A and B are shown apart, each in its own frame.
Chain A
């Protein structure tokens, strides 16, 4: 309160000092006042140079600067705002930020495995590999031995911290796997090629890590890779493991608690490690999630409560994996719904922890081939068609903008993907469908795309990183993605 008062006084003084000679319509404007408030908040920022007891690395998969922009507008519009002015929980001046270069050693366009690996080991990696050094080759098991990198989880677990993983993707998928796995192929989720003895499959590595005490909590999707082929999973489907191992049974035998739905998850005790597998593959999109399945915020809450019991602290990686999948589908409505609950999970993690001892890092692994058309008026629904700009007031004209073909167009386009306007039966020529606003706002609508591809692609465009807590101020400028690890490592070891 005291600080707020001083800031307010300082602000008033600053405005008075610097605004001499400016007309009242300028200095009295809300924009002017808000601008002054922002710089005072920035001036009042303090650098936290303490040691981080806890680190929470929050990755919204595929949530680059563009996707995050669209999510901001969507969330704001859900709250009844025009949208553009909305501030996501990690977009306040409480958070330091930087731009991040996401390319892989051998790829201009990154994939999620080496990007998450870079954040977890401090070195960039090769496309489709996880936590192997630069000499390792994709899909070549013989290059595994001797190339294994040490992960941040392994380092902090050795110091007595607990480690947790939360994901809406399969727990064996690239981003969560980068916490614990070392593999020459990100797709070796439940089997390795015949004769490959240098590594186990990713699911087996995860259960080994839980049994060894490296991982204390792992919750998300992907049960089929932990259950023998053709055996039932707890989620009603069938297992997929060709080796016939029942890793869920193995985990239970090792004293790890298992849950397959929200009721079981809520009933767990807090005194033994936790394995939660809600679905056979990825968890449901947030737009489709049944109540029986824990949400990203449900998982975040329990994970932090559970891990906070360790007086030595914890490392928790939280992934919103399906932001990426909905972008791959070219279906922004689902990207937005998963993005929205992601922002709620960030707010919750912040609320449940103390800035003094907890470094929270909010970022993405890569961007998508998402683009934004113009010129749309304020408040145009971000997933829908572009309305024109009104000459008066601030809201759009309520009249659809038309392209040269006389048809309206959505704000968002994807450069490629299954929303393509080109048709195979027309020798890959085509024309844009005439779409109504109602159709474009439908949850199943695919924004129009150009290049026909079975799955919309990532892009190499930068992502942002936002952080608060010990040493968060080290995030500044434009950095390489592996620097994320170095900030975490510096923060947990600071004297």
Chain B
């Protein structure tokens, strides 16, 4: 039975849901941003657009951060903690709206944000990224 409150919530939430649904309708796989070791046509075409990407949260480089690295598959080891050169090339830096609430590395998440391309060195961690999601959220 549709209660009034449920109905109101549903109605009020509709615009948000619509947008979320659009982004989450068909999140792309992280690997589709790459063509081997170069950026894919999809990545180039999506620059500046809000997209949803599925993947896994690598163990954060720093506590209380607004930054994490999305990986194609679960990576329990923080590659950065070992040696910078051991990062896989096909990762996505994610700059979040809020301080990152850490999700275990083996739980799949969908990150939504605006795709940015080009080299950027994170001032706090020194992490150099070539592809980023900014103004991002994740679930």
Q: Give A contacts to B, CB under 8 Å.
A: 224, 237-238, 240, 280-281, 284, 288-290, 329-331, 417-421, 423-425, 443-446, 452-455
Tally B residues with Cβ within 8 Å of A.
Answer: 19
CB-CB nearest in chain B for A224? B85
7 residue pairs bridging A and B, Cβ less than 8 Å apart? A224-B85, A329-B75, A420-B106, A421-B106, A425-B103, A443-B31, A453-B76
Residues of A within 8 A of B105 (CB): 418
How distant is A100 from chain B, measured CB to nearest CB, in Å?
29
Residues of B within 8 A of A284 (CB): 37
B76 touches which of A240, A280, A331, A418 (Cβ 8 Å): A418
CB-CB nearest in chain A for B75? A418
Residues of B within 8 A of A330 (CB): 74
Additional A-B contact list (19), CB under 8 Å, known A418-B75, A443-B31, A446-B106: A224-B85, A284-B37, A288-B90, A289-B36, A331-B73, A418-B74, A418-B76, A418-B77, A418-B105, A418-B106, A419-B74, A419-B106, A420-B106, A424-B104, A425-B104, A444-B29, A444-B73, A446-B73, A453-B76
A280 touches which of B74, B85, B106 (Cβ 8 Å): B85
Could you tell me the distance between the alpha carbons of A184 and B131 in the complex, rounded to whole angstroms? 40
Q: Give B contacts to A, CB under 8 Å.
A: 29, 31, 36-37, 72-77, 83, 85-86, 90, 103-107
Interface centre among B77, B83, B86 (most CB of A within 10 A): B77
How distant is A271 from chain B, measured CB to nearest CB, in Å?
33
Given the contacts A418-B106, A420-B106, A444-B72, A455 and B85 also touching, CB distance less than 8 Å: no
Question: Contact: B72 with A455, CB < 8 Å?
Answer: no
How distant is A21 from chain B, measured CB to nearest CB, in Å?
58
Could you tell me the distance between the alpha carbons of A284 and B34 in the complex, rounded to whole angstroms? 14
Residues of B within 8 A of A417 (CB): 76
Could you tell me the distance between the alpha carbons of A284 and B37 in the complex, rounded to whole angstroms? 10
Question: Contact: B76 with A238, CB < 8 Å?
Answer: no
How distant is B38 from chain A, measured CB to nearest CB, in Å?
8
A454 touches which of B76, B83, B104, B107 (Cβ 8 Å): B76
Question: Contact: A423 with B85, CB < 8 Å?
Answer: no
Given the contacts A281-B85, A418-B75, A290 and B37 also touching, CB distance less than 8 Å: yes
How distant is A70 from chain B, measured CB to nearest CB, in Å?
18
Question: Contact: A452 with B76, CB < 8 Å?
Answer: yes
How distant is B106 from chain A, measured CB to nearest CB, in Å?
6
How distant is B77 from chain A, measured CB to nearest CB, in Å?
4
CB-CB nearest in chain B for A285? B88
Could you tell me the distance between the alpha carbons of A452 and B105 in the complex, rounded to whole angstroms? 11
Residues of B within 8 A of A421 (CB): 106
Could you tell me the distance between the alpha carbons of A453 and B106 in the complex, rounded to whole angstroms? 11
Residues of B within 8 A of A419 (CB): 74, 106
